[in-house]
Amino acid sequence: QAKNSDCPGTSSDQAGKSSACQGCPNQNICASGAAKAPDPAIEEIRQKLTSVKHKILVLSGKGGVGKSTFSAHLSHALASDDSKEIALLDVDICGPSIPKIMGLEGEQVHQSGSGWSPVYVEDNLAVMSIGFLLSSPDDAVIWRGPKKNGMIKQFLRDVDWGEVDYLIVDTPPGTSDEHLSIVQYLSGAGIDGAVIITTPQEVSLQDVRKEIRFCKKVKIPVIGVIENMSGFVCPKCKNTSQIFPPTTGGAQRMCEELNLPLLGRVPLDPRIGRSCDEGRSFLTEVPDSPAAVAYQNIVQSKSSKPQQASLKQTCLTLKLINCHY
């Protein structure tokens, strides 16, 4: 590939033909079309991740719905079982917030003979993010698609994840570079499915429907939908207020229309934001809060509602029968 950020990428029709390709040692190969062959990294990643049992993407077409917050607390909830090994991968290249949420700001990645070593927040919870590679949390990552693509490839191929039960992948909003890269590189290793995050209002649901169609198009199984910020529970009086009214029926109606499982609703709680800012697990800080209970219900299926399924149950079902797209 061309060394500058204007490289069109090997899969582009302009590969080897654009001005950015002038002087690149691979220009003739790209122009001939030979570079469009399957990336050998796909097989390398498949072999690298044979020790990872379940791979789950956290997606949403909408920004600001709480994907990173959910990814972090889902990882904490799964890691509460000491017999399980959990890994959290942040592929939000331009806006990595996982280091802050997990209390790992200032940590650095170390390299060993078997690859990059992830940063451990607990004995059984490993984390990797581009945030660990930046000199400052305020550094801006100003990259085009091919460079993002290369970074995600390195995360999957070069990180020494070890034996892992659940790999949770936190993604940026949308359906573009990072999403296509993670799907491409995990095509050999296999993706159990995606958890879709939304908030109750229609302006969010519109973009989330696009994300679900993206999953259908690239054949990612949809594990289920989470309605985040689903009402506000006052910590003092315990009354619930609808901050984001579900004017079109919210996630419940959308799931019924699209025949998808509703994994649960997580209420808005200001203590979640405070815990994230302080880099602490909300689940251990306020374990009896409605939001913490909702997280546990999502993972363990403690809900009495028949239309709701647990992430663990649905994930295992998808692994066996590959349903939902």
Residues that constitute the known binding site for [4Fe-4S] cluster: 7, 21, 24, 30, 234, 237
Who's near 32: CB < 8 A, 6+ residues apart?
16
Residue type present at position 310: S
- Binding positions for ATP are 61-68
Give buried/exposed letters for 52-73 (b at 16+ CB in 10 A, else e): bbbbbbbbbbbeebbbbbbbbb
Catalogue the E-assigned strands of the chain. Answer: 52-59, 86-90, 110-112, 115-117, 119-122, 125-129, 164-170, 193-198, 222-233, 240-241, 262-268
Q: Which residues are annotated as a binding site?
A: 7, 21, 24, 30, 61-68, 234, 237
How many CB atoms lie under 10 A from the CB of residue 36? 13
Query: What letter does residue 173 receive in the DSSP assignment?
Result: S
Nearest residue to 54 via CA among 184, 189, 183, 173: 189
Helical pair 145-158 and 177-185, crossing angle rounded to 10 deg:
30
Q: Could you give the 3-state DSSP secondary structure of residue 159?
A: strand
Instruction: Confirm if 35 and 43 have CB atoms less than 8 A apart.
Output: no
For the record, the structure tokens of 129 come out as 């993010």
